[in-house]
Amino acid sequence: MSSTWAVCKREFKAYFLTPIGYVVVGMVALIAGMSFAISFITHAAITQDPSAYSYTAVPDFEETFLSPYLVFCGTLIMFLTPLITMRLLAEERHRGTIEFLLTQPLRDREIIFGKYLAALGMLGTMLLVVVVNLCIMGYFVAVEPAVLVFGLLTVFLMGAACISLGLFVSAVTKTQIMSGTMTFGVTLILFIVGNLGEDMPTANPAPGSWPEALRSLVGFFYDIVRGLIVELPIDAHAREMALGIVQPVDIMYYVLFSAFFIFLTFRALESRNWRG
């Protein structure tokens, strides 16, 4: 446990001993802050005069501002996580410090969880910046605490899922650039595919003239593929949660997503013992 903490502390400090920590947090501050200011002012204008914006009544604050804003922050953090995860293991391998690390009296889990926790620490720092924006909002508008808490939890879970993916990619790549690019690529694919999936029809795409057995077979696989495309992307489970509608299945999704990639990271690090 103390070794996990030691690894975590060093990793977290390393973010701020190099420019990367400042760059990432600065980018969150800039982008999340700008979009907050613009959409908050727009929402204020809508509240003043809904008809000018073709609303019949004052729209619900949580639904039109808070939840989309939190999902936006989650997506922003999702695309910035490759910058925090790319160095975790790939840099050690590139610099050769992996030889130092792996000959210290450490268990694999102490290395992996130490690094994962450090990256979660960075995620927490980014969230703090978002919380500053939310505090400003809280000064003007009274919001339901549940929406706020679950909204932030959503952003955190999204980030944690991306970090576990990035940690795994970092464990199987040799340079930071490769690691960052691949994590970014996978995140982007998941994001795009998820948006496309929303337009996929639910009906069986096989023509009616096909034999019944073939039709049901095609339908069976189509449902699986469609289900995966709709349910797998990291942001798919965020929208409702950010509204405060929390279903165990959504939380389980993020927990399992992270657990799966951490499991793969263990196997990747372990492979040194049999790969020769």
Partner 1 sequence: MIAVQGLTKYYGPIAAVEDLSFEVGQGEIVGFLGPNGAGKSTTMRILTAFAPATRGEARIAGYEVHQNPLEVKRRIGYLPERVPLYEEMVVSSFLNYVAELKGVSRANRVGEVGEALERCGLSDMGNRLIANLSKGYKQRVGLAQALIGSPPVLILDEPTVGLDPAQIVEIRQMIKGLRDKHTVLISTHILPEVAMLCERVIIINQGHIVAEEKIENLSDGSGATRLEEIFMRVVSSDRAAILAKTKKEATA
Interacting residues with partner 1 (CB under 8 A): 2-3, 6-7, 10, 14, 17-18, 95-100, 102-107, 272-274, 276
What are 254-259's contacts with CB under 8 Å, separation 24+?
254/157, 254/158, 254/160, 254/161, 255/157, 257/161, 257/164, 257/165, 258/160, 258/161, 258/163, 258/164, 259/164
Give least dist CB 101 to partner 1, A: 8
Pick 53 or 100: Cβ nearer partner 1: 100
Start-to-end CA distance of the chain, whole Å, equals: 29
Pick 61 or 266: Cβ nearer partner 1: 266
Pick 96 or 248: Cβ nearer partner 1: 96
Give least dist CB 29 to partner 1, A: 23
- Give the torsion sign (CA, 26, 27, 31, 34): positive
Give least dist CB 175 to partner 1, A: 15
Pick 10 or 174: Cβ nearer partner 1: 10
Of the candidates 10, 20, 156, the one whose C-alpha atom is nearest the C-alpha of residue 77 is 156
Pick 30 or 102: Cβ nearer partner 1: 102
Cβ atoms of 16 and 118 within 8 Å: the answer is no
Helix (H, G, I), strand (E, B) or coil at 24: helix
- Give the torsion sign (CA, 116, 122, 128, 129): negative
Pick 225 or 272: Cβ nearer partner 1: 272
Cβ atoms of 24 and 126 within 8 Å: the answer is yes
Pick 209 or 273: Cβ nearer partner 1: 273
Cβ atoms of 196 and 232 within 8 Å: the answer is no
Pick 207 or 276: Cβ nearer partner 1: 276
Give least dist CB 64 to partner 1, A: 45
Give least dist CB 119 to partner 1, A: 17
Give least dist CB 2 to partner 1, A: 7
Give least dist CB 43 to partner 1, A: 43
Give least dist CB 92 to partner 1, A: 8
Residue type, 74: G
Q: How many CA atoms lie within 13 A of 56 on its CB side?
A: 0
Cβ atoms of 240 and 247 within 8 Å: the answer is yes
- In whole angstroms, what is the distance from residue 256 CA to residue 58 CA? 39
